[in-house]
Structures are given as C-alpha cells and as structure tokens.
C-alpha cells in the first residue's frame, strides 16, 4: 500500500508538471486457495508458497505500525485476538440461528412505492422538458441531501437537453458535472444513496447505460435484498430515451426498458406527458429504492395546457387516455402519441380504450385486466424490440389468466419494433418503428378476427398490415418544388433540428424578396430553447416571398417562404460552386429580367467585385437585441486617479520587462475585489427574469474582433484566483477569444474600453444575464478638487451602466466608488496574496 501511495504521488507530480499520463501495472499476490474446493499446493511450488507471507498486506501493515511506534506488539496481539473472538462468536450465532423461511424470499426486493398526494406545479402550459426542470428544482429546494450529477449538467450548458438549466446557478452545492464515465455516475449514485444522500443522476442518453451496467445490476438493484433490508439505495437515474427523431441511430435512439425491467430491485417509469413527467419524477425522488426514469425525447417539447394543478403520480398506476368498449390498446412513451393519432384516424369506426402504462415496473395489472375484461380484445404497442419484451410480458399475463382468456374474442396483438436496430437513414428508422398505419391495421385486425377455441391461437402476431405503409421524409409536409415555366419554386421549410424540438421562433429574415441567393447563404434565423439556428440555402437562385414574419412561432416542417431556382439540378449547383471556389471566386445567382427569365449559366464574381443590394448583418445579433428589450438601463460616471495604476505598471515593467501585467489586468483585479464587497453585482438575471446571486462569480472582458464584431472573454470563478493565476488566465482568455473561442456568458459584470481610440467616456450597454457593464476611459489629465485647492491629475472615467431591475442607483454608486477606491489604492499583490489597499 505504501509503495502504491509513493509511486502514485510521484506520478501525480510529474503529470502536473506536464510529464503526461501514467499506467500502473500492480502485481497482487493471492494469499490462499481460490475457494474452499481448491488446493493451490497442486499448482504452486513450495518455494512460492513459502514466501507468500511477506506479501500479506495485514502483516506488512502490522510491521510498519509497530516499527513506527504507532502501536506496540502487545496492543496488536490483543486487538487481533478480539477480532478473531468476534468472528468466532458471529459464526456460532449464525450456526444456532433459525433457518430462513421461503416466505421471506420476496420481502426485501423493493419497498412499496410511496403514496404521495402533493401539488407540484400550478395550472399552466408545460412541456416535459419544463416540468422535469421545475420538479428537479423543487426537489433540490426541498431537501439539501438531494444531489444532481451528470455530464455537462452545470450551467451554462444545463445538460444536453437543457433539463438542468439554471439549477447549478441556484444550487451550486447540490448540482455537479460528472466525468464522462457512466460507470462512475452509477457507482457514485449507489455510494451516496447508501450513506443517506438522495442522488438524482443524469445519463445523456439511456443508450449509454451499458458501460455502467455492472454497477446497476450488481450493486444498485440488489443492495436492499442482499442486505436483508439493512441497506437501501434511494436513487433516481434519469435519461432521454427512444427514437422517432432522425439521426440518432444505434447510440441515441434505443428503447431498452425491457432489458432494464428484467432485473429485480429496479423500478422503471416512462412518462408521456408533462404532468406525468412531474408526477412520476416527484414520487421517484421520494421513494426508498432505485428508479430508472426514461424521458421520451421525441415528446420533450410538445406543449400541453393544464387547467388543474399537477400532482404527484403513484408508481405502478396506469392512466386511461380514452374510454372504449371494442378493443383495449396499451402503450407507453412515444407510442402513446402514435396510438392517439391512430385512434383519431379510425374516428368512430371502432371504440378504443387507450391505456398509458407509464410505469413498467411495477406495472398496473388490475387496470389492464379490467379493461380487457370489458373489451375482450388487446393490442399492445411498444417501441422496444419484440424479443423478451414488456409487450410480450403483458400478453403472457393476460393469456395465462383463465378468466380473461376464456372471454377473449380474438388473440392479443403486439405492434413492436422487430428484432432490428434503429438505422442511420430516417427511412430505416421509421420503417423499424410502430407507426399509425400499423396500429390502425392491428386494431382493425383485432376487431374482425375471432379465434376458434379448439385451436391454439398465436399471440405473437405483429399486427403489420399486408401492404407496407408509404414512408414520408421527416419534415416534408409540403411539396419540395413546384415547376413554373422553366423555373422552380423551392420551398423554404423549418428543418428537423433533433432533440425533440417541435417549434422555433423566427428572429431574423436575412434575405429580401428579389435578393440573390448563393449556396449556403443564410436565409433566416430561428431560435429554440437551446440556440439560434441559421437556416441556410441548399440552392442558388433568387429570394421569392416570405410566408412568415419576425416573432412568429413556426413548427418543424412548416413552410417559411419560397426561392426561385433554375432547372439546374442540385448536384450540378454544388459542382459549379466547388469549381468556382477552387478559382478563388464565389457563385452568385443569375440576374433576371422583369419577366423572371434568366440565363442558366453561373456568374463568376471575382474577389473584391461589387454586387448590388448586398445584405448587411446587424451589429448586434437578434438574440442580444431581444434580451436588451427587457433591460431597464441606467448609467453613472465617476473619475478615478490613475497614478497608483501607473506606478504599479512601471514597477512591474522593471521587474519583468516582457511579461509585466497590463493596466487592464490591474483594473479587472480591482473590479473583482469590489464585486466581492457588493452582492448586487454578483447577481445574474436569467431568461425568465429570475434573479440569482452567487458567492463565486465570473468576470467578462469585452474583446474587439475584426469586422466591427465583439466577443466576451470570460474569467470563470474570478474571485478564487490569486494574483499570478489571475494575470495568466486573463491574458490566455483574451488571446483565445480573439482567436475565435466562444465562452459561455454567466458574468455578472463585463469590462469594456476604447482606450486605443482615445475615448475618455462612453455609456455602454448591459446585456442579460449580466447586471452591469463598466466602461473604462483612456487616462487623461483633468482639473480636480483636492481639499481646499484645485490641481491637475491623471484620471480615468469609470462609466457604469446597470440594469435597474436588479440594483438601484445608490447601490450602483456604492459599487462604482468601491472600484475607484480599489484602483486608487492598487499595488501589485505579493506572492499568492490579494491586492493591498493604500
């Protein structure tokens, strides 16, 4: 053990010094035979066995403790005997104990789920993504033992699906990023839960659970059972789940609830609505056993309106979505939406009772039995693979229940993905999954079929209609092109953006009717919860008409406008673009006459040549403009003497002429010290106008880029840096930002300057989530009052713009004066200490 410790310490020192990674190959001796039925003397030499004792870690540890005077030989002998006596005693007690009862076998697999009737969210419009986030927030607020842990779940990312956005900002001691290691995530969950915490851990996709499968099925699931109820593992593992979103394929589209449901001790739930997502998650977080919480990502952003408050939902209770008398349809997750569409298509042809199972383990046998007993027909629709599946489990239960089987009119039908993976191409994906046509066909087949009692009816009918359905390219809800004479009118549609996104807001229209359009030109921008997406042209041509306007909410696949293109094939356009690009030019569309006619040839625009009506991007992005619309700005200005900064700079240049810290770094250091003393300027104003305050905070530095563009360099946890660290990170961050790096912006205060242009004062803008922007003017001489006389001095103007929603004038003035004090009293901090005020 000591050798491992010393070698590891040495390795860490070399790693931190840039020496690269290390690999340890540690040889461990096996001190005894492998099992009681094994005799290692048969295959190990006497000499080898004789020297084993010196490798015994207990003996080595004893010798070291005695040698270092930590314990005497007599004390060790006494302790050794006490332990041996305890072991003998426990063996004796076990031998005398009564044999266990077979009735106890199922006693400690899981504890019955809690029965909670609590209002979680008020009435309103919600999406699953919203209710998961709000329920997690309520759970963190309710119990400080509750911990969130997962890949990139901290702000500003807030998880790959933004399910945890803003939570690490509000609960920095309860929400943490994990390593990119699912085995670690599940292992930490088990350990924390066993010792009294309430972990709620995220996996980016349920497909990724398999690297942690050993932790799940040999530790988490059976901890209660193998300890006979003395230990428990109250943890929630939640993850996006399922397909119906093109492009996910093998590793981002699995529906694998059957594999998870196979292991005793795990509860598995799959909500299909925002209310169920909140209700089931709340119950799961208050249970005493592990719950796998699977979130259908296709349904994440589908909005529902609720007139009543959203309440906790018990595990193991199904939900009746529609009432009917002809056939029972059982579905869950993504297939609920498909089943509802199928029922709408059938209309009044058949009376369908749709049941959302929503809880896979435990599952609601009674509700399904009652429904099938009434309709005497059963169709199960699942997204998972057919083999050894939940759907087969349900059908097996129904057909093995005599009172149900005796009354059934037709054999049960399973509509399922076959024994095949999800393909890369959307055609493969949608061909594999249950769709509306197959569900409709299965319902109709169930209604018209009657089985003969003398025959053994098959229960594995897939329900697939004889005629294969025609598959439509996802998002192609309108014709792609319409020919008009020798021109084509190409529709501009909202593309599939993945991750369950259903709609977006139009934030800019970058082309006007009649504007020329080249390949990859940005036509417009749409904004979702995650980002602003440019929609680019796949054609050359001329902009037609817009069928939307800025501010509209548009659905995936909706037509936004039209584009006039030539008869030229798309492939030919790409070829022409590649050829011209190789010559150093660019492709522009042909100019047309007043009848819309044009030449089919490509026009080569030489670099530097002018084209008419060039579209100019606005100086501020649409997102920034939108955020500014909510700000209530105010500005104040104050002068600060420059001599302390000038003197410190001169002293630093003498000590280190090449790498002396700049005045900008010194001012930034002073601002951080002022922020520590004034809490309002450690606050952030979030997207929903909620204001949060942090003890640790970032600092933003405005950086000018080419083309009159701006970016913000961010020093994260600026208040935790000592002086050498601060100088180094400041310089590295600014250089990286100038090189194109984009930092996540969660800085309460941003510093800006136009010193290179000799600007003495200006009123900057403040963009949320920041609450203040400090403009630092260029140093200049000014007549100032000094007690009873006036004198000239070198000063800078500090111009602070602040958001009045967060702080009032007096608080802003106090903050500005503190910055002035820090600047006027600045000296270079020594070593790892902070700045010293004069």
Tokens for 512, please give them.
Answer: 């006007």
Q: What is the CATH number of the domain that holds 532?
A: 2.40.50.100
At 436 the pLDDT is: 97
**Is residue 349 located within the same domain as residue 433?**
yes
- What does the pLDDT read at residue 499? 65
Q: Has residue 86 been placed in a domain? A: yes
DSSP label at residue 635 = E
Q: How many structural domains does the chain have? A: 6
Go through the chain and tell me how many residues it has.
838
As a whole number of angstroms, the distance between CA 45 and CA 51 comes to 10
Same domain, 70 and 151: no
Which pLDDT belongs to residue 335? 98
pLDDT at 482: 52
CATH number at residue 338: 3.40.50.920
What is the structure's pLDDT at 606? 43
pLDDT at 588: 42
Looking up residue 305, the CATH number of its domain turns out to be: 3.40.50.970
Q: What is the pLDDT of residue 582?
A: 46
Residues 306 and 351 in one domain: no
- The answer to whether position 410 is within a domain reads yes
Q: Is residue 834 part of a domain?
A: no
Higher-confidence residue of 808 and 709: namely 808
SS (H, E, C) 110-123: CCCCCCCCCEEECC
Question: Hey, which bits of 247-334 come out as E strands?
Answer: 267-269, 291-296, 304-306, 310-311, 319-320, 327-331
Percentage with pLDDT > 70 across the chain: 87
> In this predicted structure, what is the pLDDT of residue 612?
53
Give the residue from 97, 128, 161 where a domain finishes: 97
- Domain range spanning residue 729? 628-824
Among all chains, which residue has been given the structure tokens 């053990």?
A: 1
740 burial type by CB count under 10 A (0-12 exposed, 13-18 middle, 19+ buried): exposed
Q: Is residue 468 part of a domain?
A: no
pLDDT number for residue 293: 99
Rounded average pLDDT over 190-211: 97
CB 156 within 8 A of CB 131: no
User: Average pLDDT in the 642-649 region?
Assistant: 92
* Cβ contact 134:278 at 8 Å: yes
161, 244, 420, 484 from 426: Cα distances, Å: 21, 9, 14, 30
Tell me, yes or no, if 252 is annotated catalytic. yes
Q: Kindly indicate the confidence band of residue 628, based on its pLDDT and cuts at 50, 70 and 90.
A: confident
Q: What angle do CA 143, 149, 151 make, to 5 degrees?
A: 155
Here the CATH number for the domain that contains residue 767 is 3.30.559.10
Higher-confidence position of 533 and 235: 235
Selected residue with higher pLDDT from 209 and 466: 209
DSSP for residue 807: -
Tokens of 445: 């087949």
Query: In this structure, is residue 442 part of a structural domain?
Result: yes
pLDDT in tens, 144-172: 999 999 999 999 899 999 999 999 999 99
- Any domain includes 284: yes
- 357-389 pLDDT tens trace: 999 999 999 999 999 999 999 999 999 999 999
Catalytic one of 34, 252, 451, 780:
252
199 pLDDT higher than 50? yes
For residue 440, the Cα-to-chain-centroid distance in whole angstroms is 36
Domain membership flag for residue 474: no
Residue 317 has pLDDT above 50, yes or no: yes
- Per the CB < 8 A criterion, the answer to whether 798 and 774 are in contact is yes
Q: What is the mean pLDDT of the chain?
A: 86
Given a cut of 80, whether residue 453 has pLDDT beyond it is: no
The reply to whether 639 and 784 lie within a common domain is yes
- Higher per-residue pLDDT: 118 or 736: 118
Percent of the chain residues topping a pLDDT of 90: 62
Helical H segments across 347-425, by residue range: 365-375, 390-399, 402-405
Residue pair 524/510 in contact by the 8 Å Cβ criterion: yes
pLDDT, one tens digit per residue, over 704-716 is: 887 777 889 999 9
């Amino acid at each position: 053990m000591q050798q491992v410790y010393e070698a590891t310490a040495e390795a860490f020192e070399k790693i931190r010094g840039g020496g690269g990674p290390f690999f340890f190959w540690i040889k461990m001796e096996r001190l005894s035979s492998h099992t009681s039925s094994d005799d290692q003397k048969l295959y190990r030499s006497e000499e080898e066995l004789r020297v084993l004792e010196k490798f015994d870690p207990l003996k080595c540890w004893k010798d070291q403790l005695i040698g270092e005077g930590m314990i005497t030989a007599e004390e060790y002998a006494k302790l050794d005997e006490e332990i041996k006596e305890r072991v003998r005693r426990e063996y004796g007690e076990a031998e005398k104990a009564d044999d266990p009862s077979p009735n106890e076998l199922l006693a400690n697999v899981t504890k019955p789920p809690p029965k909670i009737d609590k209002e979680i969210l008020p009435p309103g419009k919600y999406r699953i993504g919203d209710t998961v986030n709000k329920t997690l927030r309520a759970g963190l607020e309710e119990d400080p033992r509750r911990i969130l842990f997962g890949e990139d779940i901290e702000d500003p990312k807030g998880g790959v699906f933004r399910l945890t956005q803003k939570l690490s900002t509000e609960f920095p001691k309860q929400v943490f990023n994990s390593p990119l290691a699912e085995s670690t995530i599940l292992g930490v969950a088990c350990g924390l839960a066993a010792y009294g915490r309430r972990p709620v851990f995220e996996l980016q996709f349920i497909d990724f659970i398999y690297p942690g499968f050993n932790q799940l099925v040999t530790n988490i699931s059976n901890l209660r059972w193998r300890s006979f109820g003395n230990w428990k593992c109250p943890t929630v593992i939640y993850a996006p789940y399922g397909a119906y979103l093109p492009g996910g394929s093998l590793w981002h589209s699995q529906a694998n609830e059957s594999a998870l449901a196979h292991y005793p001790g795990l509860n598995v739930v799959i909500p299909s609505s925002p209310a169920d997502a909140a209700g089931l998650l709340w119950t799961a977080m208050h249970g005493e056993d592990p719950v796998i919480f699977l979130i259908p990502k296709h349904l994440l952003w589908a909005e529902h309106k609720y007139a009543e408050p959203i309440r906790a939902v018990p595990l193991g209770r199904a939900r009746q979505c529609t009432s009917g008398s002809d056939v029972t349809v059982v579905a869950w997750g993504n297939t609920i939406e498909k089943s509802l569409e199928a029922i709408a298509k059938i209309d009044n042809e058949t009376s369908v009772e749709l049941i959302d199972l929503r809880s896979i383990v435990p599952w609601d046998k009674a509700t399904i039995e009652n429904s099938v007993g009434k309709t005497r027909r059963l169709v199960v629709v699942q997204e998972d693979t057919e083999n050894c599946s939940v759907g087969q489990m349900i059908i097996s239960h129904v057909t093995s229940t005599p009172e149900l089987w005796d009354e059934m009119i037709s054999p049960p039908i399973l509509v399922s993905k076959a024994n095949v993976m999800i393909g890369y191409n959307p055609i493969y994906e949608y061909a594999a999954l249950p769709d509306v046509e197959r569900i409709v066909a299965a319902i109709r087949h169930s209604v018209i079929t009657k089985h003969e009692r003398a025959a053994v009816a098959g229960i594995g009918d897939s329900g697939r209609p004889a005629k294969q359905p025609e598959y439509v390219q996802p998002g192609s809800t309108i014709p792609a092109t319409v020919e008009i004479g020798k021109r084509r009118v190409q529709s501009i549609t909202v593309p599939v953006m993945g991750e369950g996104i259903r709609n977006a807001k139009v934030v800019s229209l970058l082309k006007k009717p009649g504007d020329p359009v080249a390949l990859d030109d940005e036509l417009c921008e749409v904004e979702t919860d995650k980002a602003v997406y440019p929609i680019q042209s796949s054609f050359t041509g001329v902009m037609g008409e817009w069928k939307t306007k800025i501010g509209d909410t548009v659905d995936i696949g909706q037509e936004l406008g039209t584009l006039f293109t030539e008869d030229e094939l798309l492939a030919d356009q790409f070829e022409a673009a590649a050829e011209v690009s190789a010559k150093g030019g660019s492709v522009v569309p042909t100019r047309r006459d007043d009848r819309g006619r044009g030449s089919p040839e490509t026009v080569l625009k030489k670099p530097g040549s002018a084209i008419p009506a060039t579209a100019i991007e606005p100086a501020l992005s649409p997102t920034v403009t939108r955020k500014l619309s909510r700000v209530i700005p105010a500005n104040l200005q104050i002068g600060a003497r420059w001599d302390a900064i000038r003197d410190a700079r001169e002293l630093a240049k003498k000590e280190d002429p090449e790498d002396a810290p700049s005045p900008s770094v010194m001012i930034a250091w002073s601002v951080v010290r002022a922020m520590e003393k004034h809490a309002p300027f450690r606050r952030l104003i979030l997207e929903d106008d909620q204001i949060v305050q942090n003890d640790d905070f970032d600092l933003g530095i405005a950086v000018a880029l080419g083309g009159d563009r701006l970016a913000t360099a961010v020093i994260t946890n600026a208040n935790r840096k000592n002086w050498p660290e601060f100088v180094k990170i400041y310089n590295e961050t600014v250089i990286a930002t100038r090189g194109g790096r984009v930092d996540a912006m969660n800085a309460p205060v941003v510093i800006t300057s136009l010193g290179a242009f000799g600007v003495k004062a200006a009123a900057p803008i403040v963009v949320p989530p920041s609450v203040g922007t400090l403009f630092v003017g260029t140093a200049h001489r000014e007549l100032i009052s000094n007690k009873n006389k006036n004198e000239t001095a070198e000063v800078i103007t500090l111009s602070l713009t602040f958001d009045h929603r967060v702080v009032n004038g007096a608080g802003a003035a106090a903050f500005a004066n503190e910055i002035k004090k820090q600047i006027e009293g600045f000296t270079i901090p020594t070593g790892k200490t902070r700045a010293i005020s004069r």
